[in-house]
Amino acid sequence: MDVLLLRYEIAEGRTDDLREWLAEARDREAEILDLLGREGMHTESLFVEEVDGTDYLLWYMEAEDVARVLEVYETATDDIVAESDGLFEEVLVGGFEGTVSEADLLMHAVGPDRPSETIRR
């Protein structure tokens, strides 16, 4: 299993656009869960972190194979993929090609009785 934490800088003044789109996307749970299933994604979480006046998107992924996730995502024709691609290209500094740092994973543990939840906030 692959576990990643990615960090992207959010363009100044665009954090609310990102928050608004993600709030609306939560209402499209069936589309998101279908995509996650095809990707082999077990968990995907997005966070906003503010550091010294700059907002960052933290993107946590837990998947069988991140290469498979990228392959499926890049070839997907789902409306939600097209919309998220467009938004992320606009609100992330440098788009998906921007500065991405992977944190050094020190530990990852999943409890044996972990509840199965779908999209939430």
**Which pLDDT does position 39 carry in this prediction?**
94
Reported as a single tens digit per residue, the pLDDT across 73-118 is: 889 888 888 888 889 999 999 887 777 777 888 998 888 887 777 7
**Which pLDDT does position 37 carry in this prediction?**
93
User: Residue type at 73?
Assistant: Y
**What's the rounded Cα separation, in Å, for the pair 106 and 112?**
20
- Compute the 3-state secondary structure of the chain and give helix, strand, coil in percent, each to the nearest 5: 40, 25, 30
Domains of the chain, earliest start first:
2-97 (3.30.70.1090)
Residue 91, token pair as written in the block = 């609100």
Reported as a single tens digit per residue, the pLDDT across 38-69 is: 999 999 999 999 999 999 999 999 999 989 99
Give Cβ neighbours of residue 28 (< 8 Å, ≥ 6 apart): 80
Task: Report yes or no: 100 and 56 within 8 Å, Cβ to Cβ.
Answer: no
Give Cβ neighbours of residue 17 (< 8 Å, ≥ 6 apart): 87, 90, 91
Reported as a single tens digit per residue, the pLDDT across 6-50 is: 999 999 999 999 999 999 888 888 999 999 999 999 999 999 999
Residue 53, token pair as written in the block = 């006046």
- pLDDT category of residue 121 using cuts at 50, 70 and 90: low
First and final C-alpha spacing in the chain:
25
Task: Report yes or no: 7 and 68 within 8 Å, Cβ to Cβ.
Answer: no
